[in-house]
Structure 1
C-alpha cells in the first residue's frame, strides 16, 4: 500500500474498492486504532464463518460488535480489543461454536499478529 499526504490532515490511499482516508482526527478519515480494531474483528469474523461452514452449521448471519480499551498514559495505545459475535442460524450447537471460536483465534492472522501486545477477548451469543 502507498499512502499520500493530504493537504489538511492525514493520509490517503487508493484501493480497488475506493479511497481510504486515514487521520488522527476522525473529521478527516478513519482513525488508525479504528482500522486496527476493524482488522481484528473482520478477520475473526471471516475465519469464524469459514470454520462454521466447514462444520456444516447453517449460519444465516454473523453480527460483530468490537470495542477497544486504550491506555492514555501510554500514547493512548490499544490494550484490549473485545469482539462479540451474534450468530443467527438454524439448529446451532453451542459446543461446536465454542470449538469454532478456538479455531478462529488460532487461525486469524490479525489476532495472531497482536498476541502478546494486545489482549483480545472473543465472545458469542446465539440469536434467533
Structure 2
C-alpha cells in the first residue's frame, strides 16, 4: 500500500493512492491552512467510519439483509499529550435504512469492531471506542 502526497500551497495537500483515488488535506486557518480539505485527524475518523461500514455492508449482504442505506457518524475527543494530541474516545453512530433483523445488525457491528476493522483495532490502543445504532424502515 502506497500513498503519495503532493503539496499544493500553504498547508493544502492532495493524497493519491495507487488506484488514483484522491483526498484533499489541509490545516485550519488558525495554523495557516485554508481549510480546503480534511485535517489528518479528521481522516482518521473517516477511516474508522469507512472501514467499519465496508465490513458491515459485506456482512449484511452475506446475511441477505435488505440494507437500503447506511449513514455513519463518527465523533472523537482528543487530549493533548504535550506536543501532540491523540483521540481518547471515539463514538460511532450507525443509521441503517431497510428491512433489517436487529440481531443481525448488532452482530455485524460487533464483528466489525471486535474482529475485522483494522482501523478501529489500531486506534483502540489509545482510544475507548463506543457505538450506537438505529434502524429506519423504508
Asked if TM exceeds 0.5, the reply is yes
What is the CA-CA distance between 1:4 and the residue it aligns to? 3.1
Structure-1 separation of matches of 2:60 and 2:70? 11
* DSSP-derived class of the 1:30 partner: coil
RMSD: 1.9
The 1-side partners of 2:39 and 2:13 are apart by 11
Q: Does 1:45 align with 2:53?
A: yes
The correspondence for 1:22, drawn from 22, 25, 28, is 25
* 1:47–1:108 Cα contact (<8 Å) kept: yes
1:67 paired residue among 72, 75, 86: 75
Cα deviation for residue 73 of structure 1 reads: 5.4
CA shift for structure 1 position 72: 3.6
Q: Secondary structure of 1:3's partner?
A: strand
Q: In the alignment, is the contact (CA less than 8 A) between 2:60 and 2:67 conserved in 1?
A: yes
- Structure 1 residue aligned with 2:118, among 104, 109, 112? 109
Q: Extract unaligned runs of 5+ from structure 1.
A: none
Tell me what 2:4 maps to.
2
Query: TM-score, normalization: structure 1?
Result: 0.85
Which fold has the larger relative contact order, with Cα–Cα distance below 8 Å and residues 6 or more apart in sequence? 1
- CA drift of 1:7 comes to 3.7
Consecutive unaligned residues of structure 2, counting only runs of 5 or more, are: 29-33
CA deviation map 1:76-119 (0-9, x unaligned): 321111111111112x2111211111111111111112222122
- State the distance in 2 between where 1:10 and 1:118 align: 28
SS in structure 1 of the partner of residue 98 of structure 2: strand
In the other structure, the counterpart of 1:124 is 133
